[in-house]
Structure 1
Amino acid sequence: MEATEKCCDTQFKVLSTGDYILPPPLQASIDKIVEKEGYISHKTINRSISTSGGNFLADLFEVDIKGKTADGDKETNIFIKNKMEDIAVTVLDVSECYNLENFFYGDLSKMYDDIQNKANIPIEERYNMVKSYDATNPNAIILENLSKKGFTTVHRMEVAPLKFAQLSAQQLARFHGLSWVLEKQNPDYFAKKIRTIKPTYKLNDDYQKFVDNMATYTDKCVDGEKRVKLKKFGSRMMEAMQRNYFENDDSRCCLCHGDYRANNILVKKDGEEIIEVIPVDYQLLYYGCPALDFIYFIFPCTDQEFRRQHLDDLKDLYYESLRKFLQYFNMDVESVYPRDEFEREYKKRLEYGLTIALLLTPVLFTNDDDVPDIAHDDLGSISVTPDLKMDERIRGLVDDFEKWHIL
């Protein structure tokens, strides 16, 4: 028995068991994977995944393929991020977002694997990437489903565990390092394919409405002179975004992740100990200032106490990880990205950390049942109901940025 469910404006057939029948383009991609993996006979189970506020531009699916090959029984576990239909977002070029992620998994990740293999980098010192399938199409990202291997994510409201933050900083350094290695080894490709990647954000009227809307939630977390300062900063936030995110003429640039936050970093534990992280979600790739990736990671997922205890150490760890990684390629980090330049760019663009935290925090602190439909709703009028824990997070941000003379 079948039913039809409208999921994010796309028609999916749903069996009485709750399994999804994938739309034909996705099913064709799965069929290609079945053939390439050598299945003689097989059965597939398809499930829809709730994003729980972690993804705003895609329908997510799990596909389990079980069957027999010439070598015996086999199981293939797949994760699909399928482009939503009729996305109303105007502050992003959504088609370009999917093109970028397809470029990363279909082309760049393979080059990065080859670069690391040729340098004989130990597994534990490499940049980690999820296995992708060649059946990936322009509207879908098809990857190995690492949840089957115990990977999960840190919840959006949680302060990043220290070990998670340390491993994430190391991975970010390697990601930036690979960009500079690629630039050295293949300058023509880099010039044509990497240096030309522009930010997909559009600082238009709708973006301004989103800024103003989120301010109605964050401004309430403080009062008195602090609220006055926060409102004053909000009035120049668009200008700060333009200056920090789009203007890099005087910066040492590389390929940046663009959305390096806790929700986009898979984590695996051994008991209670975090042992591995794998970055994902490359839809906001752009050529820009690497310090922004570090700043973007820190401020939405840490509180004031965490920053007081660990921020300086994480900056040191990022830079030393970059130094160690580049040594595998006989590259001197001080020649590639001098420490004083990293520090200069970090301080120069620090206000970006406050900007992105103020914009993301109200949504990140909304309970799963109340997460707005950002893909289809007007960003200027979306309504959120933030958890009370948001107030303390915002107050800590305001205190820190006062201390750093940003407010």
Structure 2
Amino acid sequence: MESSITVLSSGDNILPPPLQASIDKIVEKEGYISHKTTNRSISTSGGNLLGRLYEVDIKGTTANGDEEINIFIKNKIDNMQVGIFDIAECYRLETFFYGDLSKLYDDLQNKATIPVEERYNIVKSYDAINPNAIFMENLGKKGFTTVHRTEVVPLKFAQISVQQLARFHGLSWVLEKLHPEYFAKKIKSLKPTIIFNDDYQKFIDNMDIYTDKCLDSEQKVILYKFKPHIMDTLKKNVIENAGSRLCLCHGDYRANNILMKTDGDSITEVKVVDYQMLYYGCPVMDFMYFIFPCTDQDFRRKHLDDLKNLYYKSLGKFLKYFNMDVESVYPRREFETEYKKRLDTGLIYGLLLTPILFTKDDDVPDLAKDDFGSISVTPDQKMDDRIRGLVGDFQKWGIL
């Protein structure tokens, strides 16, 4: 669902049989008397790596007259060789979010009478009873696009995305207060879908080959001392959270997973997708994941502190709708402490994700054939400045 969608094929018979069966169920639930479907297999040029993507348009007649719905499908790739992810759990988590949690979140926001512009926006989904696929409203048909993965995010996009992130985290704490038993059973038990194993170390080493080429000799020496600690640092900050205030984290909060709608040159709305990496952890981690792979040094110099302040201000404003005080839920001092303690993860996210984000469109990894530890990419030369700026910032901040 990236701005550069490519139609691979089209017609009425290209969907795999399980997906077609699910579409038939949706047609029945939506009350179509007669209908016609048009299906397309699409590519997002690297915007999505964990599924085959399809668009389905359903046009027909219901008891209420002529109707059309547009559906986006993400279907699990059979026999994916991804040793660093629990793929089955990824799809279970997203099904859980759209099938259960999103309805509860909508209900909470409705009862609090939160204005539309102040809500956490959730994409409409369709219950198709298929554990290997996600069916949701195709927002591309409504003019939503994404920032290209190699571009620095626009400031307005970053601001609205940070506000949405704060509301997403806020809903987790609201849920914990109002439905403690559900929260304890369904949310606190969620572990990261990333598996920190030998395959993940191979992935780290593999990405190092590409980032190392971007650096001058001085930066290479400085970063060399940090590299052996990447795996342990990730484990500490993702898994070991004793004493930290935790909530439901998105886990993959980056520009490709945030759809935006524009009015001329102005970004008016964003909606977040891809909930396959949900886990119970520290909210600062989502902020790091968004900022460092999606911005450059100049952007961070101008806007990082303001965005951090906007996150906390937005969290406080959202919690007020539920008569909750942000200083009681997540004190500012604790937020700042966690940010400083986990800042090194921002460097790691930048180093690991940037080579994949900067992969040329005709060289996107095929995870049905290769695993993360062995994928080969051909990054755009624009990656050089991004990596040098990333390392430069962490030198300046004393992390390196």
Output the TM-score relative to the length of structure 1.
Answer: 0.95
Q: Which residue of 1 aligns with 2:360?
A: 367
Q: Which residue of 2 aligns with 1:330?
A: 323
Q: Which residue of 2 aligns with 1:212?
A: 205
Contact 1:259–1:281 under 8 Å retained in 2:
yes
Shift of residue 23, structure 1, vs aligned partner: 1.9
Contact 1:56–1:375 under 8 Å retained in 2:
no
- Decide which of 106, 122, 140 is 1:129's aligned counterpart: 122
Q: Structure 2: which amino acid aligns with 1:56?
A: L
Tell me: higher relative CO, structure 1 or 2? Use CA pairs within 8 A at least 6 residues apart. Answer: 2
Secondary structure of 1:350's aligned partner: helix
CA spacing shift, 1:384–1:166, aligned 2, 3 Å? same
In structure 2, how many angstroms separate the alpha carbons of the residues matched to 1:304 and 1:23? 44
User: How do 1:232-381 residues align onto structure 2 when only pairs under 5 Å count?
Assistant: 232-381=225-374
- Decide which of 129, 135, 140 is 2:133's aligned counterpart: 140
In structure 2, how many angstroms separate the alpha carbons of the residues matched to 1:332 and 1:219? 45
CA spacing shift, 1:123–1:303, aligned 2, 3 Å? same
Shift of residue 27, structure 1, vs aligned partner: 1.3
Q: Return structure 1 stretches of 4+ with deviation > 3 angstroms.
A: 15-20
User: How do 1:168-247 residues align onto structure 2 when only pairs under 5 Å count?
Assistant: 168-247=161-240
Contact 2:72–2:138 under 8 Å retained in 1:
yes
Q: Which residue of 1 aligns with 2:94?
A: 101
Percent identity between the two aligned chains: 74
Secondary structure of 1:138's aligned partner: coil
Secondary structure of 2:213's aligned partner: helix
Cα deviations by residue, 1:349-376 (Å, 9 ceiling, x for unpaired): 0110110110010110011111112343
Shift of residue 17, structure 1, vs aligned partner: 5.7
Contact 1:20–1:47 under 8 Å retained in 2:
no
Shift of residue 250, structure 1, vs aligned partner: 1.3
In structure 2, how many angstroms separate the alpha carbons of the residues matched to 1:74 and 1:173? 36
Measured on the aligned residues, the alpha-carbon RMSD in Å equals 1.4
Deviates more, 1:17-26 or 1:363-372: 17-26
Q: Structure 1: which amino acid aligns with 2:102?
A: S
Secondary structure of 1:372's aligned partner: coil
In structure 2, how many angstroms separate the alpha carbons of the residues matched to 1:226 and 1:23? 49
Deviates more, 1:286-295 or 1:30-39: 30-39
Deviates more, 1:134-143 or 1:345-354: 134-143
In structure 1, how many angstroms separate the alpha carbons of the residues matched to 2:354 and 2:69? 36
Q: Which residue of 1 aligns with 2:4?
A: none
In structure 2, how many angstroms separate the alpha carbons of the residues matched to 1:127 and 1:153? 18
Q: Structure 2: which amino acid aligns with 1:58?
A: G
Shift of residue 136, structure 1, vs aligned partner: 4.4
- Decide which of 17, 25, 29 is 1:36's aligned counterpart: 29
Secondary structure of 2:207's aligned partner: helix
In structure 2, how many angstroms separate the alpha carbons of the residues matched to 1:105 and 1:364? 26
Shift of residue 24, structure 1, vs aligned partner: 2.1
Contact 2:126–2:135 under 8 Å retained in 1:
yes
Shift of residue 22, structure 1, vs aligned partner: 1.6
- In structure 2, list runs of 5 or more residues that go unmatched: 1-7
Output the TM-score relative to the length of structure 2.
Answer: 0.96
Shift of residue 379, structure 1, vs aligned partner: 2.7
Tell me how many residue pairs correspond in the alignment.
394
Contact 1:59–1:81 under 8 Å retained in 2:
yes
Secondary structure of 2:35's aligned partner: strand
In structure 2, how many angstroms separate the alpha carbons of the residues matched to 1:218 and 1:22? 39
Contact 1:89–1:376 under 8 Å retained in 2:
no
Q: Structure 2: which amino acid aligns with 1:66?
A: K
Contact 2:78–2:368 under 8 Å retained in 1:
no
